[in-house]
């Protein structure tokens, strides 16, 4: 799957609340950084696929509605690092956001960071 295809799939998986499918893309020892993780778990850094899955399950359970819209994707020359830029609509609150992801040679995400912008009108 190309990075463009992955980004489209990723947005759709989140809109479908498919935490397990998204988590399965991450390496066992992934390091994920997110201000939302700090709100949900008390820690901005989540280490490990299962811990990430647990965090996302808690976050998704607290939302009545989730819809992501892909805005753009940026990637480095070798395709190992991408940034997905999207608009999130969670319970009617629209925000611009982006997520950086770094892939290993097996295609698993080993590092990621989510950044969220201001609420949109």
Supply the range of the domain harboring residue 31.
3-120
C-alpha to C-alpha distance for 105 and 116, rounded to whole angstroms: 28
Q: What's the pLDDT at 8?
A: 96
Instruction: Evaluate whether 110 touches 32 at the Cβ level (below 8 Å).
Output: no
Give me the pLDDT at residue 98, please: 96
Report the pLDDT value the prediction gives residue 117, as an integer from 0 to 100. Answer: 87
pLDDT at 82: 97
Question: How many domains would you assign to the chain?
Answer: 1
Of all residues in the chain, what percent are helix, strand and coil, respectively (each to 5)? 30, 45, 25
Where residue 28 sits, what CATH number does that domain have?
A: 3.10.450.50
Confidence at residue 44, expressed as pLDDT on a 0 to 100 scale: 94
Beta-carbon contacts of 116 under 8 Å, excluding residues fewer than 6 positions away, are 35, 36, 88, 95, 96, 97
Could you tell me the pTM of the whole model? 0.90
Q: What per-residue confidence (pLDDT) applies to 121?
A: 81
pLDDT at 55: 94
What are the 10-residue block averages of pLDDT along the chain, 121 residues in total? 93 95 97 92 95 94 94 94 96 95 96 91 81
């Amino acid at each position: 799957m190309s990075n463009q295809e992955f980004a489209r799939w990723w947005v759709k998986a989140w809109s479908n609340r498919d935490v397990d499918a998204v988590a399965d893309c991450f390496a066992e020892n992934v390091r994920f950084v997110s201000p939302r993780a700090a709100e949900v778990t008390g820690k901005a850094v989540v280490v490990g696929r299962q811990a990430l899955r647990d965090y996302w399950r808690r976050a998704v359970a607290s939302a009545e509605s989730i819809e992501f819209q892909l805005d753009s994707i940026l990637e480095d020359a070798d395709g190992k690092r991408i940034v997905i830029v999207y608009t999130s609509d969670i319970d009617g609150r629209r925000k611009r956001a982006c997520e950086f992801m770094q892939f290993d040679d097996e295609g698993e995400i080993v590092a990621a960071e989510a950044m969220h912008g201001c609420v949109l009108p």
